[in-house]
Structure 1
Amino acid sequence: MRRPYIFRDPVHGDVGFARDGFGELVRKLVDEEIFQRLRGIKQNGVLNLVFPGAEHSRFAHSLGAAHVAGRMYDAACQNSGRPADATERKFTTLAALLHDAGHGPFSHLLEEILGKNHFHHETLTSRILTDDSSPIAARLRRHDRELPERLLPFIEYKKRRHRRWYYGIVSSQLDADRLDYTARDAMMCGIVSHRFDRDRLVGSLYIWTKPSRAGEPEDRAPDEHLAVDDRARDVVESYLHALYHLYQSIYLHHTARAASWLLNAALRRARDLAISDSVQRDRLFPAGGMRDPLWALIEDGNRVPLIEYMRLDEAHVWGLVQRWRGADDPTLRDLCERLKQRRFLKAIDVSTSDFEKLTKLQDVAKSRVKAALPGLDPTYYVRLDQIGRENYKPYRWGREDSGADPILLISKDGVTRPLEEEARGKSMLDLLESRFMMQRIIVPEEVREHLPPDLLKD
């Protein structure tokens, strides 16, 4: 008897892969150094500095997403009376497993610092899947020469020449990624109030084939979508509510945002010093025979050699922060001391959205920092933190690529409609039309009492 490969997971229980050719591929992919690197990258950046249990990694999340993706594929096929295709299921599971392979340390923080045009984790993921220098790409090609290119459409929307329903399992508004992290993040952060029936939601999935239009070639690939049984619309509503409240209570928590900005400021200060002075660069990013991997990413962005990128994890960055506590530059030294001593900046809600008033508030804050913290550069201590999020993106009619596929509900007669067209009560209406905007100013504790009170919320 050949027992399956089992990963014990706190969210899903046993995550298993049969000891066949595919299971062996999964095991070898997981063991590759560039995938093991995800053990050193937390799922939620510095959220563990606020929620002590949030120590879980993108490694665990990736395994969980692969497990959920396989379940979603099986349920949709079974409910639709369609035999499961082993190749399609393999593509879907592998894409979910590898969807975060290119992530940098601290969630999206490095993308904020370097700019998404210079560095974006999805670009690195695509490179890890396809580059000749990538051990994962080599492993995939040994299994199936065309496999890397077959996985790209799951990651890059623009690579989708046909609408395959299973693409939505990996990337959509109701995908394996979200179904895993909503449960995992809530559990690890100790949040018990924002839950939904994930099993029922997965068990209510169907495949819907869009009827062909007159004049279309008969050999054209069918336009297929993932859909949810309309009897489970209450679970969809609970899912969207959970997602909304997780952003409100966890991801955008005021202390988490302030801690993230403090780390952001320290990394930007080190980068700015290194760019302006080669002597400083050698001190701040010592080579030790090879380029420092963080400096390699700063310099090369999306073109960074993968052999250097695979050395970059959060432990390496924290090691640099510890080193910078002894830096010559007083601003960098102070920012790093604050991080290690947990003397975070403070995120304060702002009562206005008027541009002139916000600019005035920022200028006042910088002047207060300059007076209270002489010798330090106030640019790195003040930020207007403006965050907007659309809870659900409805279908934009008439656009081939709306930027977000809608969540489709399907009736017993096979008729589908986007979720936003569902006859619903006020709760669902509010949820679908909600776009919340948070406006805060982030400043040191030393100056918070000296800001104009009329521009701050009580």
Structure 2
Amino acid sequence: MEFSAREMALIDSPFFQRLRQITQLGFAGLVFPGATHTRFAHSLGTAHLAGRVFDQLCKGNNYDLRADYNLEQLNYARSLLRFAALLHDVGHPPFSHAAEAVLPRLGQLPMPDFLLDDPNRQATHEDYSHAIIHHLAESRGLISREEASDLVSILSKKHEPSDQLKAKDGRHLIYPLLCQLINGEIDVDRMDYLLRDAYNAGVPYGKFDLDRLIGAMAVYKEDQAGWFLLSLKEEDVPTYENFLLSRIHMFQQIYFHKTLGAFSHYLTRAFVDKELEIEVDGSLEQFLGFTESRLRQALAQVSHKKWSSRILGRVKAKNILRVVGEDTADLARLVMVEEIINRAGIESFVVRSSNQYSSQIEGQVNQGTVMVIQSEFGKTRALPLASRSDLLDTREKRILITQLYVHREDAARAIEEINLKLADG
């Protein structure tokens, strides 16, 4: 991988270096010992892939970007895409998403006014990323203010990009395409984390043909709306479907694993129940110290307390029941079992995990649509991906897993109570 001098300056900044102390998969190392890789490495890989994909799109397959943008503008778009890929996770808290429970109100972050959609809501890791990007421009001068605004525009989709991204006809043609490549149906973030996570976890689920997928990507110009969109040839749809299946299986088998769900619940409860004396006040300098090593130190100081002791002692909860999907009867059964356990005086907890694995809608073209190019008898036409993929036709587009747990020491009694009540009808 090669990085420009400006990219290296961002990489060397304390905010990016902090990602060395933030693991990509949080508690996954408890189940998959190799899965201790960091968001630092993932962000570097994502930026590398961003450059590869942009260069592929500039080859002019199906449509030539140079018809609407000059070389200087394309270079700006390429550098912007790589910056966005580098910095997309820079605001991530420790242990994946569980530590977001302690983040402050949005209004406490040093944010531009146009990003304060609701100052009283709780900030997310995306909000911290946006605040850090603006800080890198305002206080450190590593990127320009215009670049910072465009980066947040691509990452958040909350405001219009600058004139730098306008085509010759005055429209932001390339903006939807850049958004798709960072956070879309076939984006560089997913390309990197699926392969990286599968490799480090030692599982086969996340594998797909990366080179074939990148080589299949092209640009489609939606003239009526004024957008550039990502496109594939019809013969490359199976390559996309292989990529999509990899994502579905990684969520089912790794990201929503029963042990990860339980330990994430432990950490959230440790924050909510005030076991941990950690305050994140909105200061970006303070956020630099909000790392997994710091959090482990804080847990060690309260190792006698309920939730912290379970984390440090690696005490697994017992997964009593797991429901995949939204079947009403299955979910009602889970509620019934939960009530049986609770009436017996046994503590339980429920973890709900969901992910929309595809945003494609049949018969509709929007800024997230991937187009499929059909060629027949010398003529071509473009159709939305959802209308050309059998996989999207036959599957739900959301993964939902609901899991009921009891503490390990209560498992035998809980199972006995459940069997007794179910036998009684």
TM over 0.5, shorter chain: yes
Corresponding residue of 2:168? none
1:180 to 172, 182, 192: 192
Q: How far apart, in 2, do the equivalents of 1:114 and 1:142 lie?
A: 26
Aligned-residue offset at 1:318: 0.8
Deviation readout 1:257-284 (Å, 9 max, x if unpaired)? 122222222222226xxxxxxxxxxxx5
The counterpart of 1:362, out of the listed 338, 343, 350, is 338
Q: Which residue among 242, 252, 262 is the counterpart of 1:238? A: 242
Map residues 333-348 of structure 1 onto 2, 5 A cutoff: 333-348=305-320
Query: Percent identity among equivalent residues?
Result: 27
The answer to whether structure 1 residue 440 and structure 2 residue 398 are counterparts is no
1:322 corresponds to which of 297, 300, 321: 300
Question: Is contact 2:6-2:142 (8 Å) kept?
Answer: no
245, 254, 268: which one pairs with 1:250?
A: 254
Q: CA deviation at 1:170?
A: 1.1
Q: Counterpart in 2 of 1:144? A: 144
Distance 1:345 1:114, change over 3 A: farther
Q: 1:414 Cα shift?
A: 5.1
5+ residue gaps, structure 2, are 106-120, 162-171
Residue 273 (structure 2) aligns with: 269
Instruction: Output the CA distance in 2 between the equivalents of 1:58 and 1:348.
Output: 32
* SS across alignment from 1:388: strand
Aligned AA (2:338): Q
Could you say if the C-alpha distance between residues 357 and 200 of structure 1 is closer, same or farther in structure 2, counting changes exceeding 3 Å? closer
Q: 1:256 to 1:143 in 2, by over 3 A?
A: closer
CA deviations 1:83-116 (Å, max 9, x no partner) are: 5621111111111111111111111112356699
Match of 1:390 in 2: 356
Equivalent runs, 1:116-155 vs 2, <5 Å: 117-130=121-134, 134-135=135-136, 137-139=138-140, 141=141, 143-155=143-155
Q: Which amino acid aligns with 1:199?
A: D
Residue 407 in 1 paired to residue 370 in 2? yes
Structure 2 CA distance for partners of 1:171 and 1:436, relative to 1, 3 Å: closer
Name which of 89, 94, 97 aligns with 2:83. Answer: 94
Q: How far 1:169 moved relative to its partner?
A: 1.1
CA distance in 2, matches of 1:229, 1:247: 27
Q: TM-score, normalised by structure 2?
A: 0.80
CA distance in 1, matches of 2:316, 2:156: 37
CA distance in 1, matches of 2:373, 2:366: 21
Contact 2:362 2:386 in 1 (8 A): no
Distance in 1 (alpha carbons) for counterparts of 2:19 and 2:373: 37
Instruction: Report what 2:34 is aligned to.
Output: 53
CA distance in 1, matches of 2:139, 2:422: 56
Distance 1:92 1:436, change over 3 A: closer
TM-score normalised by length of structure 1: 0.75
Alignment of 1:279-294 (within 5 A): 285=277, 294=278
* SS of equivalent to 2:273: helix
Contact between 1:166 and 1:226, CA under 8 Å: does it hold in 2?
A: no
Between the aligned partners of 1:32 and 1:73, the Cα distance in structure 2 is: 25
CA distance in 1 between counterparts of 2:262 and 2:147 reads 42
Name the structure 1 match of 2:285.
Answer: 307
Contact 1:206–1:226, Cα closer than 8 Å, also in 2: yes
Question: Is residue 205–residue 249 contact of structure 2 (8 Å, CA) maintained in 1?
Answer: no
Q: CA deviation at 1:40?
A: 0.5
Q: CA deviation at 1:125?
A: 0.9
Given that 1:368 and 1:447 are in contact with CA atoms closer than 8 Å, whether structure 2 keeps it comes out as: no
Amino acid corresponding to residue 210 of structure 1 in structure 2 = E
* Structure 2 partner of 1:11: none
Q: Deviations over 1:308-341 (max 9, x none)?
A: 1111111111111111014xxxxxx132222222
Residue 395 (structure 1) shift: 2.7
What is the CA distance between 1:249 and its match in structure 2? 0.8
Contact kept, 8 Å, 2:362 with 2:384, in 1: the verdict is no
**Secondary structure, counterpart of 1:315 in structure 2:** helix
Taking a change above 3 Å as real, the CA distance of residues 446 and 364 of structure 1, as seen in their structure-2 partners, is farther
Match of 2:178 among 161, 166, 170: 166
User: How many pairs were matched up?
Assistant: 377
For residues 266-307 of structure 1, the C-alpha deviation after alignment (integer angstroms, 9 at most, x for no partner) is 222226xxxxxxxxxxxx53xxxxxxxx31x2xx4xxx0111
Look up the equivalent residue of 2:12 and give its one-letter code: D
Conservation of the 8 A alpha-carbon contact between 1:369 and 1:444: no
Alpha-carbon distance change, 170 to 356 in structure 1, aligned in 2, over 3 angstroms: closer
Match of 1:317, as an amino acid?
A: L
Shift of 1:227: 1.4
Using the TM superposition, give the Cα deviation of residue 253 of structure 1 relative to its aligned residue in structure 2, in angstroms: 1.1
Matched AA of 2:306: D
Change in CA separation of 1:178 and 1:76 when aligned onto 2, cut-off 3 Å: same
Counterpart residue identity of residue 17, structure 2: Q
How far did 1:408 drift? 2.3
Cα distance between partner residues in 2 of 1:149 and 1:434: 32
Is 2:24 the counterpart of 1:43? yes
